Amino acid sequence: MLAGLFLAAALMAEPAVGAEAKAGVASAAKPEGPKKVCVLQAQTGSHFKKRICATPEEWEERRRRDAEEMAKMSDRQGFCRGDNC
């Protein structure tokens, strides 16, 4: 009976040590990368939102491209192009 308790205690302790060892290996193998920022974005025609993650530099590039695209679209519409608008 006593040997069974020791065996049970040893088996219960082994996964904890293994988990710690695996966590150490996983953290050592994964290099520290740039921090990502995630946002939930509404999808057209759906009630579901899509999670998009990117670095701050990628978000800035995306904003710049979107602004350029909006400027192109507004130029194509032929609305007022003078100082009187």
**pTM of the entire structure?**
0.48
- What pLDDT score was predicted for residue 6? 53
Contacts of 59 (CB under 8 A, 6+ apart): 37
> Mean pLDDT across the stretch 20-46?
77
Q: Across the chain, what does the average pLDDT equal?
A: 75
**Taking the chain, what is the end-to-end CA distance rounded to the nearest angstrom?**
91
pLDDT in tens, 34-72: 899 999 999 999 999 999 999 999 999 999 999 999 988
pLDDT of 19 above 60: no
How much is the pLDDT for 18?
54
Q: What's the confidence (pLDDT) of residue 57?
A: 95
User: For the chain, what are the domain ranges?
Assistant: 35-76
